[in-house]
Amino acid sequence: MNNLRCIHFIILGILADGPKHGYQIHKELNDPEGIGAVWKIKITNIYGLLDVLEKGEAIMPSTKIMDDISYPPKKYFEITEKGKDLFQSWVRGPVNHGREIRQVFLSKLFFAHKESPQIAHQLICDQIRECNQWVEHTSSQPVPESEFVGIVNSFRSMQIKSYINWLEELKNKEQGV
């Protein structure tokens, strides 16, 4: 299951709350007051994503009887122990690239908050540490010969520093500072 993308983990996080059918997952994924503030997924894509998770044994058809008596009957899915382990490992780790802050980190933070303020706080602290490593790596690079590469490096450095400032604000807000 190494080929899972962020959206697969988000579906696992949604199913961590209990069994759901595809339309319910889609509705939650597109809720503008929740994870839908970060993601927009078409209903036609949901079933392919669910298929990957089911084949990887991260989810399974639900054995629980639902009160849904609609026709045609809906297939409900629930998260497996393997899926729970995959999700927990994913949600607690910082992202490894700046380009992942906007969707992946915010998605992790959404689910971390749902679990507990402590898990969210730890994720923020871990991400600050990761970003500081990016700054160290960037500043340890030799001065480039190309002026354009210098401009690109300066942009990246400033972008990372702005991530750190934003994360520090989040951390302080979490602590009530």
**Which tens digit of pLDDT belongs to each residue from 17-27?**
999 999 999 99
Query: What's the pLDDT at 174?
Result: 82
- E-assigned strand segments in the chain: 20-21, 59-61, 76-79
Burial of 104 (0-12, 13-18, 19+ CB in 10 A): buried
Check pLDDT > 80 for residue 176: no
Query: What's the pLDDT at 65?
Result: 61
Check pLDDT > 60 for residue 109: yes
pLDDT tens digits, one per residue of 122-139:
999 999 999 999 999 988
pLDDT band at 175 (very low <50, low <70, confident <90, very high): confident
pLDDT averaged over every residue in the chain: 92
Q: What is the mean pLDDT of residues 170-176?
A: 87
Q: What is the mean pLDDT of residues 16-41?
A: 95
Check pLDDT > 80 for residue 153: yes
Whether the CB-CB separation of 32 and 15 falls below 8 Å is answered with: no
Check pLDDT > 90 for residue 70: no
Q: What is the mean pLDDT of residues 104-117?
A: 97
Q: What does the DSSP 8-state code read for residue 102?
A: I
Q: What percent of the chain has pLDDT over 70?
A: 92
DSSP β-bridge partners for residue 77: 20, 61
φ/ψ (deg, to 5) at 21: -95, 170
Q: Is 150 left (phi over 0), alpha (psi -120 to 50) or beta?
A: alpha
Whether the CB-CB separation of 8 and 53 falls below 8 Å is answered with: yes
User: What is the rounded distance in angstroms from the CA atom of residue 172 to the CA atom of residue 170?
Assistant: 5
pLDDT band at 105 (very low <50, low <70, confident <90, very high): very high
Q: Considering the entire predicted model, what is its pTM?
A: 0.90
